[in-house]
Structure 1
C-alpha cells in the first residue's frame, strides 16, 4: 500500500506496532494510544509515525476532538482486557470506544477490528474452529476478556451497517514474532527461564493453536481491508499450520536447552486451532512456517539462549 492515510489503535502492541512500522514507509500513519511505556512515543515518531494520545477508558468524545477524520483505512486493535475482572467495564469501554472510533472515521474505505478466537464455545482441544462455530465467551484464564470482545463485535457489526462503513472483524489467533515481547511463546519461555510451572491440559493432551508470524500478519492486513464489507466480513485470523502448545514448548527446549516444567492442570491458558480456509481465500497463504518463525523470534529477542 502507498499514499494512504492510516489510523491504528493500540500502536505499541504485538499486532499494531509492526504493522504501523511497515506501513509508515509509504503511507501517512497515525497511532492512537496511551503510550505508557518509557520512550515508546518518541520511537514511533522517529520512524515518521504520528501519535495521538487516546485513553479508551475516557468514554467522552474529547479524546478524538482535533484528530483528523479523513483516514482511508483503520485498524482497531486497542483493548481493555479486563484483568481487573470488571465485566461491565470491559463491555462498556470496548464497545463504546469502537463505536466512537467508527463514527469518527466513517468515510474510511476499510475498517479492521481485531477480535479474538477466545470468543468460541470450547470444543475438543484439537477442534478446527470455523467462523460459523458457536460462541459463548467463557475463558477461565481471563474471564472478562472474551465477553468484552463479543460485546464489541456486536457494536462493530451495528455501526458498520448504520454508517455504511466497510468493515472486517478478524478473530485473531496467537500473533508472535521478533517485535514487542515476542508473543505467547516467549511468555512461556520466560517462565521456563524462571523455572516456573507451566499448566498444560490433563491426560497428556495439549492446547492447539494457529500461530501467525509478524511478517504474515503485516502482509495480510491490506487483503483484510479489501475484504471489508457491509454487513461486516467475519474471518478467523491465524496461520496456516496447527501446532500443539506443548510441542511448541518442547521445540523451544531443543532450541535453547532450557527445560520446561509442565504441570497438568484443569485450568490452562486455552488456545484455539483455526480452519484457515476462508482466511487463505481472502489473503493467500502464509510464507513462514511456525518453526522458522520461532527461531527468528529467538534470534531477535533471545539470541544468548540459542544453542545452535
Structure 2
C-alpha cells in the first residue's frame, strides 16, 4: 500500500504496532492512544508516524475533536480488556469508542475492527471454529473481555450498515513474534524460566491457530480489501493447528528449560480456527509455527536457545 492515509488505534501494542510501523513506509500513518509507556511516542514519531492522544474511556463527543476525518483506511485494535471486572464499563467503553471512531472516519475506503476468538461458545478442545459458530462470551481467565468484544462487534455491525462504511470484523487468534513481549507463547516461556506451573487440561490439550507477526502485517491490506457493508466477519489466525502443550514442549526442546505442566480444571482456554475463509481472502500464511517460535526465542531470549 502506498499513498494512503491510515489511522491506527492500539498502535503501541503487540498487534497494531508492527502494522503501523510497516505501513509508515510509503503511507501517512496516524496512531491514536494514551502513550503511557515512557519513550513509546518518540519511537513512533521517529518512524514518521503521527501520534494523537486519545483515551477510549473518554466517552464525550469531544474525544476526537480536531482529528482529521480524511483517512482512507482504519484499523481499530485498541481495547478496554476489563481487568477490573466491570462488565458494564467494558461493554460501554468498547462499543461507544468503536461507534464514535467509525462515525468520525465514515468516508474511509475501509474499516478493520480487531475482535477476538475468545467470544465463541466453548466446544471440544480440538474443535475448529468457523465464523458461523455460536458465541457466548465466557472466558474464566478474563470474564469481561469477550463481553466487551461482543458489544463492540454489535456497534461495528450497526455503524457499518448505517454509514455504508465497508468493514471487516477480524476475530483474532493468538499473535506472536519478536516484537513487544512476544505474545502468549513468550508468556508461557517466562513462566518456564521462573519455574512456575503452567495449567493444562486434565485430558488432551488446548488448541489454537498461532499467527506470526509477519503474516499478520502482510494480511492487513487484504482484510481491508475484503471489507463490505454490512460488515464481513472472518476468523484471523494461522493455517496450522497448534496444541498449546506441543508449543510449550517445543520451547522446552529449543532451550532446555523445563516446563512444569500441571493438569487443572481451569486453564487459559484457546481456540483453533478453520482457516478456509481467511485463506480465500488473504492467501496462505508464510511462517510455520515451529520456525516462528524459534525465531521469536532467538530474538527475545537468545541466551536460552540451544545452538
Work out whether the TM-score is over 0.5. yes
Query: Unpaired segments of 5 or more residues in structure 1?
Result: none
- Deviant stretches of 4+, over 3 Å: none
2:3 alignment counterpart? 3
Equivalent residue of 2:156, what SS?
helix
2:47 alignment counterpart? 47
Pairing of 1:1-308 with structure 2 (within 5 A)? 1-203=1-203, 205-308=204-307
Q: CA deviation at 1:61?
A: 2.2
Q: CA deviation at 1:307?
A: 1.1
Query: Unpaired segments of 5 or more residues in structure 2?
Result: none
Counterpart Cα distance in 1 of 2:63 and 2:48:
22
| Cα root mean square deviation, aligned | 0.5
Counterpart Cα distance in 1 of 2:255 and 2:37:
29
Equivalent residue of 2:132, what SS?
coil
Residues 290-299 or 71-80, more deviating: 290-299
Equivalent residue of 1:61, what SS?
coil
Q: CA deviation at 1:38?
A: 1.1
Aligned residues: 307
Cα contact 1:189–1:252 (8 A) shared by 2: yes
Counterpart Cα distance in 2 of 1:109 and 1:300:
36
Counterpart Cα distance in 2 of 1:165 and 1:172:
21
Cα contact 1:53–1:63 (8 A) shared by 2: no
- CA-to-aligned-CA distance 1:145-203 (integer Å, 9 cap, x gap): 00000010000000001111000000000001010100000000011111111111012
Counterpart Cα distance in 2 of 1:82 and 1:243:
27
Cα contact 1:15–1:77 (8 A) shared by 2: yes
- CA-to-aligned-CA distance 1:34-53 (integer Å, 9 cap, x gap): 11111000000001001011
Counterpart Cα distance in 2 of 1:14 and 1:54:
18
Counterpart Cα distance in 2 of 1:229 and 1:302:
41
Q: CA deviation at 1:301?
A: 1.0
Counterpart Cα distance in 1 of 2:110 and 2:17:
19
Equivalent residue of 2:279, what SS?
helix
